[in-house]
Amino acid sequence: MNIGEAAEQTGLPPKTLRYYEEIGLVRPARSANGYRAYSETDLHRLTFLGRARALGFTIEECRALLALYSDRNRASADVKRIARDHLDQIDAKIAELQAMRATLSELIEACAGDARPDCPILRGLAGEKGKAV
């Protein structure tokens, strides 16, 4: 299967497939004319990568997960650790976004939003308290 067909089958852009090959996540065979020839195993790995990336796993986490997936002697605890660490990172990002939202919400609430030049949002962004900007 050529790169266009593999891209269509996996839902990943050809550029991504080339990148994954460049960094060694997938190694398609080459035909006599030098074109990439993706196997069913390659497609399976690419689908795995697409799903893992959609869940926010980093390239290095994907590399580790692929290695574990291929290792029939793996310990599921190793897979769980990677997933748990990633979930902890997601939770930290959510907490950070919630704090950002709360701060921005307070600034929006404090702003009259009328023709006056005084703007608590701009003051807050500038780190100023109570001064007109």
In the structure, what pLDDT confidence band is assigned to residue 129 with cuts at 50, 70 and 90? confident
Give the separation between CA 99 and CA 94, rounded to whole angstroms.
9
Give the separation between CA 125 and CA 112, rounded to whole angstroms.
16
The pLDDT value given to residue 133: 46
pLDDT of 54-108, one tens digit each?
999 999 999 999 999 999 999 999 999 999 999 999 999 999 999 999 999 999 9
| Mean pLDDT, residues 28-38 | 95
Token pair belonging to 129: 């308290």
The pLDDT value given to residue 131: 54
**Residue type at 50?**
G
In the structure, what pLDDT confidence band is assigned to residue 53 with cuts at 50, 70 and 90? very high
Beta strands in the chain (DSSP E): 29-30, 36-37
Residue 36 has pLDDT above 80, yes or no: yes
CATH topology of domain 1-74: Multidrug-efflux Transporter Regulator; Chain: A; Domain 2 (1.10.1660)
Average pLDDT for the chain: 95
| Mean pLDDT, residues 17-37 | 96
